[in-house]
Amino acid sequence: MTDPSQITVFTARRIRTMNRSNPVATAVAVRDGRILEVGTPETLRPWLDAHPHTVDDRFRDAVLMPGFIDPHLHPTLAAILLPCHFITALEWRLPNRVSPPVTSQEAYMARLTEIEAGLADPAEPLITWGYHRIWHGAVTREMLNAVSSERPIVLWQRSFHEVVANDAAIDWMGLDRADLDRHPQVEPSTGRFFETGLSLAMRGMNPHLLAPQRFSGGLELVKQAIHWGGHTTIGELAYPLADDAGEWAALKAALDGDDVPFRTHFVPRGALRGAFDAQGADLARIDGYAARNTHRLRFGNGVKLFTDGGFFAELMQVQEPGFIDGHHGEWMMAPEAFERVARDLWHAGKRIHVHCTGDLGVELALDVLERLQFARPRFNHRFTIEHFGLSTPEQVRRIRDLGALVSANVYYVHELGEAYWQRSIGHERASSMSRLGALEREGVTTALHSDFTMAPALPLNSAWVAVNRVAESGAVIGAEERMSLDAAMRAITIDAAYVLGMENEIGSIRAGKAADFTVLGEDPWEVDPMALRDIPVLGTVFEGRHFPAAG
Partner 1 sequence: MAPVLPGSGRIPVTLLSGYLGAGKTTAVNRLLAAGAGRRLAVLVNDFGAVSVDAALIEARDATTISLANGCLCCAVSDDLGGALDGLAALPEPPEQVLIEASGVAHPARIARMAGGWPGFALDAVATVADPETLRARAADKFVGRLVRDQVEAADLLLLSRADLACPAAVADARALLAGLAPGRPVLDAAEAAAAPDLLLGPLVSGAQPRPLPGPAPHPAFSSRIWTPPGPIAPERMREILAALPAPIHRAKGFFVTPDGATMLAQRAGARVEIAPAAPAATAIVLIAAGPAETRENALPRAIAELDAAPFQDTRPGDAA
SS3 percent helix, strand, coil of the chain, rounded to 5, is 35, 25, 40
CB of 336 to partner 1, least distance (A): 6
Q: Give the interface segment with partner 1, choosing from 11-19, 76-84, 133-141, 173-181 (CB under 8 A).
A: 173-181
- Measured CA to CA in angstroms, residue 205 lies from 80, 142, 167 at distances of 11, 20, 14
Minimum CB distance to partner 1, residue 272 (Å): 7
From 22-30, 90-98, 112-120, 335-343, span contacting partner 1 (CB under 8 A): 335-343
**Residues 531-550: x/- map of binding to partner 1 (CB under 8 A)?**
--------------------
Q: Judged by CB under 8 A, does residue 196 bind partner 1?
A: yes
Judged by CB under 8 A, the residue of 333, 390, 430, 491 near partner 1 is 333
Measured CA to CA, the distance from residue 147 to residue 28 in angstroms comes to: 56
Residue 359 touching partner 1 (CB under 8 A): no
Q: Which range touches partner 1 (CB under 8 A), out of 29-37, 120-128, 135-143, 175-183?
A: 175-183
Q: What is the CA angle 416-221-120, rounded to 5?
A: 100
Instruction: Check residue 189 for interaction with partner 1 (CB under 8 A).
Output: no
Contact track, partner 1, 200-219, x by CB under 8 A: x--x----------------
For partner 1, the closer of residues 241 and 527 by Cβ is: 241
Please calculate the CA angle 420-237-318 and round it to the nearest 5 degrees.
30
State the minimum distance, in angstroms, from the CB of residue 171 to partner 1. 15
Q: Which is nearer to partner 1, 357 or 462 (CB)?
A: 357
Positions in 297-326 near partner 1 (CB under 8 A): 317
Q: What is the contact mask toward partner 1 in residues 233 to 272, using x (rule: CB under 8 A)?
A: ---------x-----------------------------x
**Site for partner 1 (CB under 8 A): which residue of 122, 184, 474, 551?**
184
Closer to partner 1 by CB, 42 or 176: give it. 176
> How does DSSP classify residue 310?
-
Q: Which member of 84, 186, 433, 454 binds partner 1 (CB under 8 A)?
A: 186
**In this complex, which beta carbon is closest to partner 1, that of residue 226 or of residue 337?**
337
Which residue from 393, 321, 405 is spatially nearest to 365, judged by alpha carbons? 405
165: β partners? 154
Alpha helices in 73-211 (DSSP H): 75-81, 105-117, 133-136, 141-147, 167-172, 177-182, 198-209
380 binds partner 1 (CB under 8 A): no
Residue 363 touches partner 1, criterion: CB under 8 A: yes
Between residues 6 and 185, which has the closer beta carbon with respect to partner 1? 185
Cβ proximity of 406 and 384 under 8 Å: yes
Angstrom distance (rounded) from CA 416 to CA 169: 30
Count of residues touching partner 1 (by CB under 8 A): 35
Least separation in angstroms between residue 467's CB and partner 1 is: 34
* Integer CA distances (angstroms), 231 to 247, 264, 408, 414, 549, in order: 22, 10, 17, 21, 11
Query: In the range 472-491, which residues lie near partner 1 by CB under 8 A?
Result: none
DSSP secondary structure letter of residue 196: G
**Residue 420 parent element (H or E):** helix 411-423
**Residue span binding partner 1 (CB under 8 A) among the ranges 73-81, 250-258, 360-368, 402-410:** 360-368
Cα torsion angle, 420, 159, 367, 302, sign: negative
DSSP strands (E only) in 456-527 = 517-520
DSSP, res 293: -
How far apart CA 148 and CA 118 sit, in angstroms, is 12
The answer to whether the beta carbons of residues 402 and 369 sit under 8 Å apart is yes
Binding-site ranges for partner 1 (CB under 8 A): 175-176, 179, 182-186, 195-197, 199-200, 203, 242, 272-277, 279, 317, 328, 330-337, 360, 363-364
